[in-house]
Amino acid sequence: MTDTAANGADGKSTVVVLFGGRSSEHQISCATAAGVLEAIDRSRFDVIPVGITRDGEWVLESDDPEKFRLDPERLPEVVDNGTRVQLPDSARHRTVSVRHADGRVEPLGEVDVVFPILHGPYGEDGTVQGMLELVDLPFVGSGVLASSVGMDKHYTKALLAAAGLRVAPGLTVHDHDWRREAEGIRERIGRELGYPVFVKPARAGSSVGVSKANGAAELDEAMRIALAEDDHVLVERRIDGREIEIAVLGARYGERARASVAGEILVDGAEFYDFAAKYLDSGAVRLACPAAVTGAELAQAQDLAIRAFEALGCEGLARVDFFLDAEGFLVNEVNTMPGFTPISMFPRCWQESGLPYPELITELIDVARSRAEARRAHDA
Ligand SMILES: Nc1ncnc2c1ncn2[C@@H]1O[C@H](COP(=O)(O)OP(=O)(O)OP(=O)(O)O)[C@@H](O)[C@H]1O
Ligand SMILES: [Mg+2]
């Protein structure tokens, strides 16, 4: 296909960069927007920046990377400026408009692709993806099913295990089970898993609610913390291994996904890669890329990453996180909208694999368009 075929008169495509959002990762998403707005190839793309406030208002934002740059003094945020961005009201056209505070409605253009750089619930979990599907707007990344499965660690593990991929031994405990039969669950954990265990909410990110319980005495507190974040939680055997990550880039229709070189999370000075290590205590964690792994280990991780990507039906992009222990690789989780600031692991892994950040953005948009066109041809 030729990428310019469906473009506007100037030969450019129009991309909505969608950021902010209702989840706790609102500010990280804004920082990512700064990176994308700065790096996106302006000779190929016209950009419509759309911010989602914490309350869920869709507002037209200024096309200004500076405004959203991560500054420890003032974390970036989308605030309600009175505008409202309106998606097409039918799948028959792709005109996105803005309603100004005075009620005036102005068309913003015919949108070719939406790039949702949203993390967590109401962004990475299939909800926004479903909304875009309804009005037939092509978008970067996974569709409804893979997004919602990837958001939930329990269902992710179930699908990965069904595809024959190794995952951490563990069990999923529902809030109501824990209230009714905690004693039986405690006994099972001791017998089937042994301590220490990791306890984590099924649908949280950034290590929020994750803790390590070194024995039965610490389990109740770990369960309380995790159940405050979600109604079902995973209790997993502690895996003693390195944390290795692979960035997967989805393919054009009919082609196979591609895997990057490996990155590694090196934690020293923290007990594990917890919230503080991720965002507060920058000295405790180092992202190494490329990771020091053998050629055989890299090939194996890349193969497993693509198998995990396909097992969940991912599209566009995903970061597949592994533990490497004495028995080999085991998949910890699949992130369908991984951290995407220029210094995040996903872009860094592709940079080290020969695809710099601006070209990575172009590739993601081109892949999304190619897949949307193939789907449309198939439906016709
Ligand atoms: N079974 C386990 N054994 C050893 N360490 C674990 C285990 N599960 C989680 N951890 C540690 O806890 C950290 C956070 O857990 P995990 O990656 O599963 O959730 P998350 O980081 O909250 O999710 P996300 O990466 O989507 O933000 C991991 O990076 C790892 O350091
Ligand atoms: Mg993680």
The torsion angles phi and psi of 301, rounded to 5 degrees, stand at -65, -40
Predicted confidence (pLDDT) per residue in 122-134, tens digit: 999 999 999 999 9
Residues with a CB atom less than 6 Å from ligand 1: 168, 198, 200, 204-207, 210, 236, 238-239, 243, 272-273, 332-333, 335
- Residues in the chain, total: 380
Give the per-residue pLDDT at 1. Answer: 42
> What is the position in ligand 1's atom list of the atom closest to the CA of 201?
22
Mutating to test ligand 1, I would choose from 210, 327, 337, 340 the residue with most ligand atoms within 8 A of its C-beta, which is 210
Distance separating alpha carbons of residues 133 and 379, to the nearest angstrom: 14
Q: Which domains does the chain have, with CATH numbers?
A: 13-139 (3.40.50.20), 151-166+240-377 (3.30.470.20), 170-237 (3.30.1490.20)
Cα(353) to ligand 1 centroid in Å equals 25
Strands ordered across the beta sheet of 232-237? 170-174, 232-237, 197-201, 211-213
Identify the band that residue 2 occupies on the pLDDT scale cut at 50, 70 and 90: very low
Question: What is the pLDDT of the chain when averaged over all its residues?
Answer: 94
Q: What percent of the chain has pLDDT over 70?
A: 97
Query: pLDDT at residue 350 above 80?
Result: yes
Distance separating alpha carbons of residues 273 and 267, to the nearest angstrom: 6
List CB contacts of 363: < 8 A, sequence separation 6 or more.
Answer: 249, 355
Cα(26) to ligand 2 centroid in Å equals 17
Identify the band that residue 5 occupies on the pLDDT scale cut at 50, 70 and 90: very low
Shortest-distance Cα residue to atom 19 of ligand 1: 207
Give the per-residue pLDDT at 4. Answer: 43
Identify the band that residue 278 occupies on the pLDDT scale cut at 50, 70 and 90: confident
> What is the position in ligand 1's atom list of the atom closest to the CA of 238?
3
Predicted confidence (pLDDT) per residue in 26-52, tens digit: 999 999 999 999 999 999 999 999 999
Mutating to test ligand 1, I would choose from 149, 206, 272, 336 the residue with most ligand atoms within 8 A of its C-beta, which is 272
Identify the band that residue 166 occupies on the pLDDT scale cut at 50, 70 and 90: very high
Would you say 273 and 241 are in contact if contact means Cβ atoms under 8 Å apart? no
Predicted confidence (pLDDT) per residue in 282-311, tens digit: 678 899 999 999 999 999 999 999 999 999
Neighbours of 86 (CB within 10 A): 15
8-state DSSP, 278: I
Angle among Cα 230, 222, 121 to the nearest 5 degrees reads: 25
- How far from 162 is each of 158, 159, 172, 284, CA to CA, in Å? 6, 5, 16, 35
Cα(322) to ligand 1 centroid in Å equals 10
> What is the position in ligand 1's atom list of the atom closest to the CA of 236?
1
Neighbours of 11 (CB within 10 A): 10
Cα(334) to ligand 2 centroid in Å equals 8
Cα(366) to ligand 1 centroid in Å equals 32
Give the per-residue pLDDT at 205. Answer: 75
Distance separating alpha carbons of residues 231 and 174, to the nearest angstrom: 6
Give the per-residue pLDDT at 71. Answer: 78
Q: What is the mean pLDDT of residues 262-277?
A: 86
Give the per-residue pLDDT at 7. Answer: 65
Give the per-residue pLDDT at 6. Answer: 54
- Beta strands 45-52 and 95-99: pairing type? unpaired
